[in-house]
Amino acid sequence: MVAKGKEKVGSQTSSVWDDAGLALMRAHNVITTENLKMLSSVPSNEVVLGEMIHITSEYLSHEVKAMAAGSKVEALEAENSKLRRDLISAMDEANSAKEKAKTPTDDLKVKKQLIVQKGKQLQAANQKVKIVAAKAVQAFQLTKEYNTVLFNWYYKGFELLKRYLVKHPSGVDLENLDFEEVDKEIEIDEATQVATTEENVSKENTANSEGAPIDAAGGDKAAT
């Protein structure tokens, strides 16, 4: 009872590290008197043998674990070495591919530059052609041939307009007049007129050939 009270009081002010009595009391609670009697009844040589067997068993167990750990370390080192070789090989392949890709890229740049140069040359040539064409047109406009062509165009336009006005005497909207439509309509009329004329000529020739006298030899009889 006193011991329990002492432990209670001591536990509040001290610990097993600075109170020998408290440490001894705790030891008595862990190992009882009966346990000490059982240990004292065992011969010392058996205790030593048991400790040696236990130590040897622990040593062998740790040695097996150390060997297993060593095997794992060797396997990891081998795998690490393989990964290192694979990494070096991959880096070499990447560098090689980069060098190979660099050559087509350089060629592409050269071709692109040539295309740009050709485009500039073509643009300059087109500009020269435009200038030459403009000068040629300007020179042609100063010739008599141009005046003749221009006069013919104007004359044809007036003729088309006159024929169109004759065909449509009721009135024509000159402001909204489409000369292309006028030209088409007049061309159709001309084609129809030509076809009618050819048909009339063919009928007349047929009538003349059927009404002419024929001699005994089968030829036309000449008029006397």
Write out the chain's pLDDT in tens, 224 residues: 334 444 444 445 566 567 777 777 776 666 666 666 665 565 555 555 666 676 777 777 777 777 777 778 888 888 888 888 888 888 888 888 777 776 777 777 888 888 888 888 888 888 888 888 888 888 877 888 888 888 888 877 777 777 777 777 777 777 777 777 777 887 887 788 888 888 788 878 787 776 655 444 444 444 43
Judge contact between 51 and 45, C-beta under 8 A: no
For 46, phi then psi, to 5°, come to: -70, -35
Greatest Cα pair distance, the chain, in angstroms, is: 187
Position 221 scores a pLDDT of 44
Q: Which amino acid appears at position 79 of this protein? A: E
Q: Which amino acid appears at position 98 of this protein? A: K
Judge contact between 214 and 220, C-beta under 8 A: yes
